Homo-oligomer: A and B are copies of this chain.
Amino acid sequence: MSETWLETLITPDPQAGYDLAVKLARVAVKLTQGDARVRDELRKDYEANADSLIAVSAVVATHFQTVAAANNYWR
């Protein structure tokens, strides 16, 4: 992925930080499986599977922890 997609971890507020965490979680999948059609097919699997959705949430949680620390918890 040569295009620029991540310039900073600094966000105006926690919600924007959470959205960034969701994006950070998704990009690793994109970098590992470059074919958008395959990813779309796979989405049908995990978005209708409770354990897969929980696992996605776990990845977002780790990234949100990183983004929150980067923003000094928006204190």
Residues of A within 8 A of B (CB): 4-10, 13-15, 18, 22, 24-29, 31-33, 38, 42-43, 45-66, 68-70, 73-75
Whether A48 contacts B53 in the complex (CB less than 8 A), given A8-B74, A69-B73, comes out as no
Interface residue SS majority, chain A: helix
Give how many copies assemble into the complex. Answer: 6
CA distance A75 to B72 in the complex (A): 11
Q: Check if A24 sits within 8 Å of B18, measured CB to CB.
A: yes
Whether A66 contacts B64 in the complex (CB less than 8 A), given A14-B7, A53-B42, A54-B29, comes out as yes
The residue among A15, A48, A50 with the most chain B CB atoms within 10 A of its own CB is A50
Q: Check if A14 sits within 8 Å of B6, measured CB to CB.
A: yes
